[in-house]
Structure 1
Amino acid sequence: MIYKKLFVRIVLRLSLIVLLSVSMGWFLWMSAYPILAFVPLVLILYLLYRLIHDLNSTNRLLSQFFLAVKNDETALNLQHNGEGKSFDALRDSMQGVNQIIKDLRMKYQQKEIVSDAIIENAAVGILTFNSQGMVEGINRKGRELLGVHHLVSIKALMKTDPNLVALFQGIKAGESRVLKTQVKQKTLHLLVSCTCIKLDNENWKLLSFTDIKSEMDATELESWQRLISVLTHEIMNSIAPLTSLSETLVQTYSQIDAETVIGEKNLSKTRLGLQVIQEQGEGLMHFVDNYRQLTRIPKPQLKKVSLKHLFEHVKALLALDDDIRIDYHFSIKEDNLSIEADEKLMVQVLVNLIQNAQHAITDRGIIQVLACRGNEGNTLIKIIDNGMGIKAEDIKNIFVPFFTTRENGSGIGLSITRQIMRLHQAKISLESVYGEGCKVELSFPAYS
């Protein structure tokens, strides 16, 4: 409406200037009194002056307004000065827009104050730094955990722990790592998570970290209790027959003196007892060998591994094409999908998980091995079967060494699998509904 009024004023003045110009020409060339041409000339000059004045006033108003916005001057005061209703309305509109901008800035500042307060008082440490390691901000908990009063560059933490600096520099977006470190004679287990952002053509890392030592101690204690429970069960099952047989043999031969002739029946019982003792001893040795496997996993030799090539390797190794009992479906969402891993260890992981799925299927079934990219840029491999699944009460123990739900199972396959995944800074999770099937998900950090 404002601009329409201004437009009408300009059009009217231009129209009058045109008409006056025509009349001035008529007086000069057609009238007997050419001196009268002076009258329209004066009017034309006046209209031109008013037109230029209005345009300059508009430009001055706009320039004043935009300069105030640019310089964050919210105390802009555009008072009426009698230039007309159009300019008064324009000033009012600019004043209204300026008030809206002022209110928005006030709300933004209030939100910024609240956000800063939340970050500063967060229960986890928060640290932001650029690609050169220069720190943009660190909150109170972060300073407390790292033992610093202020931090300009993460390289200043080299005195505390070089491994901490290496972790901060090397951690990737969406990745979480745990580091055991010591800050001012205090042992910490820092869980560090990373988010990467790009601002003003510069890459920034936002790290959140917290000490999970107490949680790890509680988890470790619970894990030890579960492991000891399983070990006790396995060892007692092996030792109980040994003790019983040894006691029986001792009682039998303690009643026989040097002159007593041992009958064939006693000899037969003795041979049978010794055979059982031998078998139980071999079982214990096998049990110990399985335990040693958990501590002998080699350090991964990381390299780029194509999932397409990895899947082909696993299919050939297990001769899955010859298995008519189960339908296998391998799928990769992206042909060039890769992970950073030790190929031999990854083959071991997939073979173990697929074999577990095979054992869970009693009749004709389906096993799906799917690979895709996750929402956080990570790479996911999912092994899904429609077998019997795992009982709810057994899931919490499924990764405990020597725990098994299968007859004659060693109980170390999933434990080794989880250990291999941890060595790759990767994660493994399991979901199951008893009677419907099981899904195992492997999550690998984004491969750059």
Structure 2
Amino acid sequence: MRSIKFSITLLVFLIILSVLGFAFFWSLDSSQLLITKMVIATVFIFFFLYLLKYINKTNRDLYKFLESIRYLDNVSTGNTADLSFDQLNITYNKITNQLKKAWLAKEHEHQYFQYTLENISVGIISFDDSGNIEILNKAAKFILGINKLRNIKELNTDTVFVGDQIKDLKPEESKLIRLNTDIDQLKILVKLTNLKIGNNTVKLVTLQDIKTQLEQSELDAWQKLIKVLTHEIMNSVTPVKSLTYSMQKVLQSDDTEETKNKNLLKGLAAIEKRSKGLLEFVESYKNLTQIRKPSYQRVILQNLLNTIGNLFKEEFKNLEIQFDIEIVPNDLSVIADDKLITQVIINLIQNSIKALHESSEKKIRMRAHLSNNNKVMLSVSDNGDGIDSEIIDKIFVPFFSTRESGSGIGLSFARQAMVMHNGTIDVRSQKGEGAEFILTF
């Protein structure tokens, strides 16, 4: 091992220097050994300088090694064949090779991140607490119609303060922002997330131009609504038209006046009944479009669900329905309008009761819990008939109902109420396997 050789060499040098030093001091006692003194001094200096060079060479090799570790971005295996220690030479090459692989992996990851950032269709902006821009990808420039951005407040104009709206967003909050351009008005969905990087907080904002999707969704909703409205109106108008034609025939008949009057009164009564039905339909539509603005407060779900359960206690008993409430944790709460949410849950329970009319073992369950992303989820489920997959996309359309006596308002009202709470209502169901309606706050 060269490390042993180094130790022996160092020891030999020290012995030689000690002997030379002793000989030099011994020669000082004699005034006749001038040449000997000079030779001893010269040899001593030579060996001393050589020893320094020998030690400094090892120090330089160690310095190069440590500098390579320090500057990971520029690490290089280099030529290490002249290192003083074989073991250090082997370890050095292993570590530098590993560091080089780590550096290359880091570079590939950075390039992949940059490519993804610049080519995704979602706009991304990141800025610090002062609003100074750190990241602005290509999609964000395209959506906002800009080439560069130094501070988020530069997005403010005299009439629209887009920059302030973005900066004032709360973490995980989404907001629809309207942005006027030279040729169009954009509808941009903006969401902000806080990232903790070391001791600094960076705000990451995503931008999505959803105008086309919104317009398509609005068009689909209108088409579904028009179909339902047309169906309901035609159900009322068609009989009236038929009755009018029949009444004309009565007037043209040869029946007695008394018979004609009786038939006309019957026809008019039927027309009046259909007219009242049409007026009630229009009134229900009016009520559906005029839901009052929510009055928000903290609602303890344990209290809310127990109160609703007590409202149906007798009905559940008479219909032999097993009813369960599960809340995790027990003190779970939401910021909501308790009256609106109560009405939504009552509508869902009433739908479940009707869906259980043919079930032998009837069950309704209300459950509230926190999702993985800390959203409050409240569900009402039953083991009734379930919902056919062909109509499950239509059940939230106003006035759509599969029951003859159904108004088709309850679920549409529920969706509007949840939208007003910045929440959602979803359904999971298969025909014959029950249904579960999920409110997400």
Which is worse superposed, 265-274 or 54-63? Answer: 54-63
1:360-392 residue CA offsets vs partner (Å, 9 max, x unmatched)? 111441111111111222221122110111111
Residue in structure 2 matched with residue 106 of structure 1 by the alignment: 104
SS at 2:280 equivalent: helix
Separation in structure 2 between the aligned mates of residue 299 and residue 8 of structure 1, nearest angstrom: 89
Contact 1:371 1:379 in 2 (8 A): yes
Give the superposition deviation at 1:327: 1.3
Q: TM-score, normalised by structure 2?
A: 0.80
Q: 1:291 aligns with which of 269, 285, 301?
A: 285
Separation in structure 2 between the aligned mates of residue 335 and residue 365 of structure 1, nearest angstrom: 26
Alignment of 1:212-231 (within 5 A): 212-231=210-229
Q: 1:361 aligns with which of 342, 356, 360?
A: 356
Separation in structure 1 between the aligned mates of residue 83 and residue 378 of structure 2, nearest angstrom: 75
Residue in structure 1 matched with residue 306 of structure 2 by the alignment: 312
Cα 1:164–1:80 shift into 2, 3 Å: closer
Separation in structure 1 between the aligned mates of residue 315 and residue 232 of structure 2, nearest angstrom: 36
Separation in structure 2 between the aligned mates of residue 365 and residue 53 of structure 1, nearest angstrom: 94
Is it true that 1:400 corresponds to 2:361 in the alignment?
Answer: no
Which is worse superposed, 72-81 or 241-250? Answer: 72-81
Which is worse superposed, 244-253 or 51-60? Answer: 51-60
Alignment of 1:185-204 (within 5 A): 185-204=183-202
SS at 1:407 equivalent: coil
Cα 1:334–1:184 shift into 2, 3 Å: farther
Cα 1:163–1:402 shift into 2, 3 Å: farther
Cα 1:376–1:269 shift into 2, 3 Å: same
Match of 2:264, as an amino acid?
Answer: T
Contact 2:383 2:433 in 1 (8 A): yes
Q: 1:270 aligns with which of 256, 264, 268?
A: 264
1:346-367 residue CA offsets vs partner (Å, 9 max, x unmatched)? 1121111121111111144111
Q: TM-score, normalised by structure 1?
A: 0.79
Alignment of 1:16-35 (within 5 A): none
Q: Percent identity?
A: 33
Separation in structure 2 between the aligned mates of residue 420 and residue 8 of structure 1, nearest angstrom: 86
Residue in structure 2 matched with residue 133 of structure 1 by the alignment: 131
Separation in structure 2 between the aligned mates of residue 216 and residue 105 of structure 1, nearest angstrom: 45
Cα 1:225–1:91 shift into 2, 3 Å: same
Structure 1, unmatched stretches of 5+, are 18-50
Give the superposition deviation at 1:90: 0.4
Q: 1:348 aligns with which of 340, 343, 353?
A: 343
Separation in structure 2 between the aligned mates of residue 82 and residue 154 of structure 1, nearest angstrom: 55
SS at 1:389 equivalent: coil
1:213-232 residue CA offsets vs partner (Å, 9 max, x unmatched)? 22222222222111111111
Cα 1:82–1:101 shift into 2, 3 Å: closer
Alignment of 1:297-446 (within 5 A): 297-316=291-310, 318-320=311-313, 323-324=316-317, 325-362=320-357, 363=359, 364-444=361-441
Give the superposition deviation at 1:94: 1.6
1:222-275 residue CA offsets vs partner (Å, 9 max, x unmatched)? 22111111111100001111111122223323558xxx9621x33322222222
Higher-RCO chain (CA-CA 8 Å, sequence separation at least 6): 1
Separation in structure 1 between the aligned mates of residue 252 and residue 177 of structure 2, nearest angstrom: 60
Match of 2:165, as an amino acid?
Answer: A
Cα 1:297–1:228 shift into 2, 3 Å: same
Contact 2:61 2:83 in 1 (8 A): no
Separation in structure 2 between the aligned mates of residue 101 and residue 321 of structure 1, nearest angstrom: 73
Give the superposition deviation at 1:163: 5.6
Contact 2:58 2:83 in 1 (8 A): no
Give the superposition deviation at 1:164: 6.6
Structure 2, unmatched stretches of 5+, are 15-50
Separation in structure 2 between the aligned mates of residue 132 and residue 307 of structure 1, nearest angstrom: 39
1:167-223 residue CA offsets vs partner (Å, 9 max, x unmatched)? 5632542x5544443233422222334444221133333332222222222222222
Give the superposition deviation at 1:146: 1.2
Is it true that 1:75 corresponds to 2:68 in the alignment?
Answer: no
- Say how many residue pairs are matched: 399
Match of 1:291, as an amino acid?
Answer: Y
Cα 1:55–1:398 shift into 2, 3 Å: farther
Cα 1:346–1:282 shift into 2, 3 Å: same
Give the superposition deviation at 1:296: 0.6
Contact 1:389 1:436 in 2 (8 A): yes
Give the superposition deviation at 1:88: 2.8
Match of 1:351, as an amino acid?
Answer: I
SS at 1:100 equivalent: helix
Contact 1:382 1:440 in 2 (8 A): yes
Cα 1:108–1:180 shift into 2, 3 Å: same
Match of 2:122, as an amino acid?
Answer: V
Residue in structure 2 matched with residue 162 of structure 1 by the alignment: 161
Q: Which runs of 4+ in 1 moved over 4 A?
A: 5-11, 51-64
SS at 2:75 equivalent: coil
Which is worse superposed, 216-225 or 238-247? Answer: 216-225
Cα 1:295–1:92 shift into 2, 3 Å: same
Give the superposition deviation at 1:293: 1.7
Which is worse superposed, 127-136 or 415-424? Answer: 127-136
Match of 2:404, as an amino acid?
Answer: E
Separation in structure 2 between the aligned mates of residue 304 and residue 149 of structure 1, nearest angstrom: 45
Match of 1:309, as an amino acid?
Answer: N
Cα 1:358–1:181 shift into 2, 3 Å: farther
SS at 2:324 equivalent: strand
Residue in structure 2 matched with residue 249 of structure 1 by the alignment: 247
Contact 1:177 1:425 in 2 (8 A): no
